[in-house]
Structure 1
Amino acid sequence: MMVSAVGNADTLAGLNKGELEELEESVRKTIARVVTPDLTTIQGNFPHQQFARWLAKTSRQTPVEIFTVNYDVLIEHGMETERIPLFDGFVGSHRPFFHPDSLRRKESAPGATWTRLWKMHGSVTWRRIKQDGRFRVIRGEPDPAGEMIYPSFQKYDESRQQPYAAFTDRLSRFLEQDDALLIVAGFSFGDEHINNLIFGALENRPRTHVYALQFDEPPDEADLAKRAGQRPNMIVVGPESGIIGGRRAPWVPIESPTFMATVFELKEEEPAGGDAAKLGRMKIGDFARLSAFLEAMTAG
């Protein structure tokens, strides 16, 4: 991070290189601690568990692939709670190591019933070690610092190292598949590297589609809204409006299945001298609402 820009005899904000290294390590450990919840305190039927139950009920010929920029292990916890097979690119039982061939060759990975989880920015359960003169990433229990890409000017360079480069390549190849469908939730398109992969695929492959479920309403001047206005294969679902087929319009409530109540809040406003107007707010950009919605669709 900041340390690489400071020489041995230089200072930054009054701190020498050694003090900056200590500060950087403290920042890393603080981030890792904040994003590592105590799993024993998580109540039953939490959103990631609902999401896992929905996955268990879906029939598919190809594996579901989850690309996440989160560092935590909530998805893993939800999948294991529901006893759903999950593969993350690491193999082994003592100190699982990253196996890049498993992302490139079908014969090196489990079958279609195993869900894939690709952690684009690392994990609190990863650790970089030096073995036989080479650095490698292994997976284990949550580490005080983890092995993660943090927001910094070095972020792009770090993403070109393994295993990050393999996950980036996998996302690119996923988007290049015929009729690829990527559903985005909990990602605000703040990572230019990932954005370029997604937007490039949408431009070059008209049959690739992306549904961006947004927690906050994207303004018209946002790059996401502009891209969706130019590409009919990019659908943006915001709380107040959607951008579909290149056009933005507010949500208009109509008769819908009861399970839609999970993600759509209906309101009524009484305009002066007129009939009540139905209004609504789409909440599917909230991962908790999305998970409840998916489970409701497969209930019964």
Structure 2
Amino acid sequence: MSEDYAVRATVRSGVLRAFAARTTELVKELQRRHHTWPVATAALGRAVTVGAMMGLMLKGERDRLTIQIKGNGPLGQIVVDADSRGNVRGYVDNPAVDLPLNARGKLDVAGAVGEGMLYIVKDLGLKEPYRGSVPLVSGELGEDFTYYFTTSEQIPSAVGVGVLVDRDGSVLASGGFILQVLPGADEEMITQLEERIAAMASVTDRIQSGATPEDLLREVIGEEVQVLQRQPVAFDCSCSPERIRSLLKSMGKEEISDILKSRGEAEVVCHFCNERYVVEKAELEEWLGETE
């Protein structure tokens, strides 16, 4: 199955909510656009997978969220933007990072991310956006998001995300799950969940072998899982030639004159999609004429 999508689910008793996603094609697209090396692909892929699932937590059609992972490792900052309609985009400051494998023979995401902070900003259509932040506890990202939900949003959670990268740097599989325990859950259920998570094969191995997001949840929760929503997930960037021109025009006469003198044309590269936009000299001069 090649379709990327995320699901929102619960159990019949209503004491657990769950999310799962397949994001293989999304991460492939980001790898293609940003030319990420394997460890950067894994880190960015984990972050956008969580972003895709958190999009399902948003209620309003225009609600959106931003994830910022600011570590002191060689990757620099990771930024993810997602909305409630399954549109996701993201980038990493330094995509060409190469590190030795970690002690377990895996890509060293923790070493690439380093120590720092995880920030979540949610635009819910209110006067002020919701802001939450926690220190990074491991840099592996799954554990860091677990800590964020449990500490900042005060919802006991478990987050499992992964990206499987082939020897040639291509993306073989990507996805994950979020489990959140709600009031009323008993200790026996929590213990069973912990045991199932510990015994579960890696998320990426399951996805590569054909498991769907629903399969992931049934494996960790059981057959009683009830899927409430199924949302396609895809890369989408809101930049466009028109928006770039509007942004440049808003800079004013002095800034446009400086661009003309120093470079002769304006070049803008979008962080999120890596598209390059060029406004040539004649158009810049026309704008100057309009301001005068």
Q: Which TM-score band applies after superposition, normalised by the shorter structure?
A: under 0.3
So what's the TM-score if we normalise by structure 2?
0.25
Larger RCO of the pair (alpha carbons < 8 Å, separation 6+) = 2
